[in-house]
Structure 1
């Protein structure tokens, strides 16, 4: 996890500079694990910035199973193309959010 808050694209570059990429969460087990130790909002490697409504991971794979907070993703204000994992104990804690917002990120190698 980064120590500084950055935009989604800055976060992705930070992860790449450190030999990885933003985290891909494709199992409930991984989602539960990450939820158990991240107690703040963090960027994950998911966005629909290429095509609105089609969520893709940083490895270009499409989203199969999401852990969305109730009512999400909702593209509120028409400008929510990146995905954060919110600071909730529930595993349903993903939210689409403006990519320019600054928060910490989760990287993986």
Structure 2
């Protein structure tokens, strides 16, 4: 009986964040059409087809994202700290946008799913320590905070007491804080984690 041997394609072994390489099917492993189909690791949900394709230039191309779903929307937490603009650009590069909290229920779910598990309480002594960027920002030429993608004003019930306060006259962006689970205005150049969101 012949022994089958797998060979790595000219694209190399794919590395897809939170994807399960053990979910590759037999036909995928053979390299039919130079593509594979992946699933996301538990407990993540998949957005996209799950197909990754080895292109002629030797690079893998995929539309797979692994994250969490809530009320029809898809979310992904990024722990690498960056500025508000950097976070917005990263979310846009994945086809999403910085999270916009439409309700208290959504805020509570985001806090429980992403903020609390990723920041230790003892590392976050002040209410503004350990924040994650949201899509909130001051509307140009005004003192009104709005969601940057939709343009809707941010509800007063989402803010920490006394916020927004524009301390130092340079707090034009909005973070969700670990200490309170509420919003705080912050300087846009502050390095923070961030959360991306996708519509259904």
Could you say whether these structures have the same fold, taking a TM-score greater than 0.5 normalized by the shorter chain as the test? yes
Aligned partners of 1:82 and 1:96 also within 8 Å: yes
Whether the 8 Å contact between 2:99 and 2:134 is mirrored in structure 1 is yes
Structure 1 pair 83–34 and aligned structure 2 pair: CA distance change class (3 A): same
Q: Which has the higher contact order (CA 8 A, sep 6+)?
A: 1
Q: Show the counterpart of 2:167.
A: 76
Partners of 1:26 and 1:60 in 2: CA distance:
11
- List alignment gaps of at least 5 residues for structure 2: 1-76, 120-130
Contact 2:171/2:186 (8 A) holds in 1: yes
**How far 1:64 moved relative to its partner?**
4.7
Contact 1:5 1:103 in 2 (8 A): yes
Say which of 65, 69, 94 aligns to 1:18: 94
TM-score (norm 2): 0.50
Runs of 4+ in 1 over 3 A off after TM superposition: none
Unaligned stretches of 5+ in structure 1? none
TM-score by length of 1: 0.89
* Aligned-residue CA RMSD (Å): 1.5
Greater strand fraction, Structure 1 or Structure 2: 2
Count of residue correspondences = 107
Aligned counterpart in structure 2 of residue 47 of structure 1, from 137, 147, 150: 137
Preserved contact between residue 48 and residue 55 of structure 1 (Cα < 8 Å)? yes
